[in-house]
Amino acid sequence: MVTPLDHRACAQPFCRRILGRLESSFPARWRPALAAALVASQFAILDLSFRGAEGWRAEPGALAASLATSIALGLALVVLARGRLSRAVVALVASSVLVLQVLVFRYYHTPLDVQVVASALHVRHEVRPVLLRALPAYSLSVLVLAALEYALLSVFHRALATVRPSGAGSIGAVLSVAALAGMAAGSPRRATPEVRAAHALTALTARHEPPVSSAIALPPLHAERAELPSILFVLTESVRAADYRGGGDVPTAPETAALTRGRTDLSQLRALSSYTALSLSAILTGRTQEGPRDSILRAPSLFDFAHAARDSRGVRPIVGYFSSQPKTVFETDEVRAAVDRFATIETIRGHDVDDDPDYADLPLDRDIVDLFLAKLPELETPSVVMLHLVGTHAPYFVDPKRAPFEPYDHVVTWSGMPKLLNAYRDSIYEQDRTLARAVSGFIEHVGPRPWLVVFTSDHGEAFGEHGAIHHGQNLLDEQVHVPGWIAAGKGTLSDAQSRALADHSTRFVTHLDILPTILDALGLWDNFGVASHRASMPGRSLLRPYEARAPIPVTNCTGMFPCPLNTWGVYDGDRKLVARAWDGGWYCMALGGAEERAVEPGDPACSRLRTFSQRTFPLLPNGTPNR
């Protein structure tokens, strides 16, 4: 017996409108079955939309997992359909998981699972402000969807009550448990979205690796130079090459360009990761990041080399680190062991950033540059100082009084992408003004003595390209092609070094070349004490004539840094291999100008990269053997 729709069981106007639409659109006898099918199969449908038809065909257990979750949820509805409160709880829980999975997938291109949660916990200081900003939209979406689900459950409420035989609840409960057990028997990370989300909670109890000291006791490294140059190394955040312009009709970084005329811009510079932690480690150690965790963390860094440097008089440079980033940006707590002056966001704010949820809205770059300029008189020359900025990280710090790119907005939506991109460009513009003050103060402080300023970004940023927003989802150019430039005071570089640097301006170089270049400027690259470490550095000094190098593995996932989405690749000149978790194999890209897929069969450079990848990555990101 089929009963009419029970409008009394759905008190909200929105819910009643949905019931009315269902009542007018479908024959009465089909309404309960249709409503139940939609609710029971919602996660199977979501799984299909995430994987795509190709993903389902490539994953034999995907269909079985979707059938199991639909049966389990359908049987649970049979058990819980009677009571209003139980229906409301089911609707709210299902809606919360559904909306959360959609939001995570749109950001990371992967469903929420244990790997995503572990990665988020690892960089919680970055994730927290994003979550807080997304909370209102998330809550509203959950409430709207929960009302819809409640309406669908109400459709077959009375019909189910009249046809359900005695004992159906117990039978349904037993079958639900059996179906859930079948779902759990497989890999939770291969299951449907709601199982992945439940399994993700296990990341909250996972054991965390203890920090490892990265300060290496190097012997004194006596430089070939009679006077060491003072070096200012500037690392900014999330700035991609396409939006960093020192000149033209709409410059985003005009002030430092005017201040550093004659500098060498590195137009084809690539990062080794689209995550800060890995990029920072690669820059400071000059090493690729696919190795064991302890090996990476125990490698000497720029700070260690600078701390060991000596000029011909035995004078050691002052080593400094001034950062508007939090101290947790380093994967080790002991990095400051080789730093004489150490200041981070905690120094500025006076407490941990976890206690300051609005820190992303503060002028942190201005604050750290003010502190840097105040401390400059204490930095005796020579000095090696790193200035680490954050204002260009989402949500992008903008000074409303100096925002040439309008209209802008900080809200992340697909329809509002042009406004978000304008906010990003405005943040680069504002940061450039702040950075110009730091560079000007540094050059004035050094005076007639030799100096070098090196600038780059840790990684790039996506604004809808390849379906991604922000960074961390892939190793395509919008996320790894970064700006870079080197400016030198008069007499700091020899004529040969200046010519070699200029020659590299249009060549394909990587972040691995930054440390060798700085060490060469300090006169340490050929030092016997550095030789044993050079063997582990694939990069080259940009102050020397160009020489070919071996392919370079790149990755967002290492034993040191848990990533939410498997993605890795290989660089070799103007070719790049990339692969992500949902890719069936490698894609070979041709770099230079617009990044394009190299489709020529038998391309020698692509073949060389595929062969090299087999020695470096035994598995593809999708878990299959790399053959």
Vertex 217 angle, CA 214 and 223, to 5°: 115
Q: Is the peptide bond before 395 cis (omega within 30 degrees of 0)?
A: yes
Nearest to 389 by CA among 564, 554, 244: 244
pLDDT band at 209 (very low <50, low <70, confident <90, very high): very low
pLDDT, mean over the chain: 82
Q: By CB neighbour count within 10 A (0-12 exposed, 13-18 middle, 19+ buried), where does 493 fall? A: buried
- So what's the pLDDT on residue 376? 94
Residue range 172-189: average pLDDT?
Answer: 54
Distance CA 359, CA 354 (A): 9
Please give the share of the chain, as a percent, with pLDDT higher than 90. Answer: 39
List pLDDT tens digits, range 310-369: 887 778 899 999 999 888 888 776 677 889 999 998 888 776 665 555 666 789 999 999
Residue range 117-129: average pLDDT?
Answer: 68
List pLDDT tens digits, range 254-275: 999 999 999 999 999 999 999 9
Vertex 571 angle, CA 567 and 575, to 5°: 110
- What are the structural domains of the chain? 7-204 (no CATH), 221-549 (3.40.720.10), 566-627 (no CATH)
More confidently predicted of 186 and 65 = 65
3-state DSSP assignment of residue 258: helix
Strand pairing of 309-310 and 221-222?
parallel
pLDDT band at 385 (very low <50, low <70, confident <90, very high): very high
- Tell me the two tokens of residue 389: 């900025």
Q: Is the peptide bond before 357 cis (omega within 30 degrees of 0)?
A: no
Q: Which residues pair with 561 in a beta bridge?
A: none
Q: Which residues pair with 310 in a beta bridge?
A: 222
More confidently predicted of 396 and 198 = 396
Give whole-number Cα distances, 408 to 280, 320, 393, 411, 424, in Å. 29, 36, 15, 9, 8
602: left (phi over 0), alpha (psi -120 to 50) or beta: left
Neighbours of 227 (CB within 10 A): 17
Spacing of C-alpha 73 from chain mean position: 34
Cβ atoms of residues 269 and 258 within 8 Å: no
Lowest mean pLDDT among 305-309, 379-383, 560-564: 560-564
